[in-house]
Structure 1
Amino acid sequence: MASGTRLDASNVRARRPAELKRIEQQRAQETRSAILHAALTEFSSKGFEVASIRSIADRIGMQHPLITYHFRSKEILWQAVAEYVFERVRQERDASLFSLGPARAVDRLKLAYRALFRFTVAFPEFHRFILQESLGSSSRLQWLADAFLKPLIGWLVPQIRAAQQEQALPNVEPIVFHYMLISLTSTLSGFGPEFSATSDLSPSDPALAEDYWRTVEQLVFGALASR
């Protein structure tokens, strides 16, 4: 019996480092997520040049050296934010398309742009984050284009052309159609503060967002657009 007890105690001690490692990894991931969310808000509201590591740390009550421990510089942190948000966009799109199965190109487009719209409603900072770089010419904008925007457009443009061949979309240059939809998907997030100031409605209201997108689908994709 004593021997069995000693073995049990040894097993507990052997498991303890692995458990501690998992806890530390989880805490580190939670810290990184908190930093990324705070940095997204900071960059989207102030722009890269004005934003600071110290201000980002203040947003979450963290010592700024802890941020530089995870992200060595403001540039690296900015890129990490971009990677984080665009990965979320990709996941939202893929999750929507996964449940669709074989379908017409126009149906794939509806789901892809609706996923982007819902993400911008949930994270209005996303649109403002990109807009900050679009206000001027910077190497960061070109990096965004090369790393994320061009691959996204590279997937969407063939879908737009296919939908046009299905006669489900107007015969306009696909990239023009894409940016028209981008304007529509970012309306609530881009004009959110003004929207609230001029009405008693909230652009983050889920019911309002659904009504808005239903209208977009009816106007752009036709009366048979699905909810």
Structure 2
Amino acid sequence: MKEFKMNTKISEAIVTHNHWKFDLKNAIETGQSGLTVDEIQNTHLCTLGKWLDTVDGKRLPDYSQIVELHGKFHHEAGKIRYLALTGQPSQAIAKMQLGSLFSQLSSLLIDKLATMNKKMGDAIVMHNRWKFDLKQAIATGQSHILVEEAQNPLLCSFGKWLYSAEGIILPNYLELVELHGEFHKEAANILHLALTGESSEAIARMQLGSDFSRISSNLIDKLAEIGQETNCEL
């Protein structure tokens, strides 16, 4: 029961912090927000922050590192919200794009939380890190992954498990298969652009609001939900 509770809290935290980019994007587009900058930068107000303050939360592995990452994440989110609410949308958008401090902190925090989820953690970390592999390919024009390999969802460890006897009994199985396939198809499209000298187009297809950004976030959400509901091992 205690392990289930922890997985539930971790899954909720992954989904919540994964969605911050959309909340901030909405604030940039509308110039409005339901939270003040001070509230956003207060790490004790969100669900994860409250849990980290509990006895169970303080027993987490790498507790100090999680607290530090969580604090930096909220501090940077608050700075972006401030820019959004004071008529500086261009600066706010720049601070959210691929390679920005916010993007890095968001991925690091999700990775750290995912590794504590014994159910779907590896799959979340692996697919969350694709953005860095693609960014490296864009920067160098090279990759250890072939486009055909990136496009094949059966080659990653999660894809292989997904089509196993254990994987096919997952809740919302067909939805997950479709989402996983879309993720690898779009990743392959970006990789192809990166390896054929079309770096500007590749970067555009990874930015906030792109299909890759949307599919990636949806996949992480779905994996976190499954990690909460099932007892699976990759």
What range is the shorter-chain TM-score in? under 0.3
More helix by share: 1
**So what's the TM-score if we normalise by structure 2?**
0.26
Q: Which has the higher contact order (CA 8 A, sep 6+)?
A: 2
**So what's the TM-score if we normalise by structure 1?**
0.27
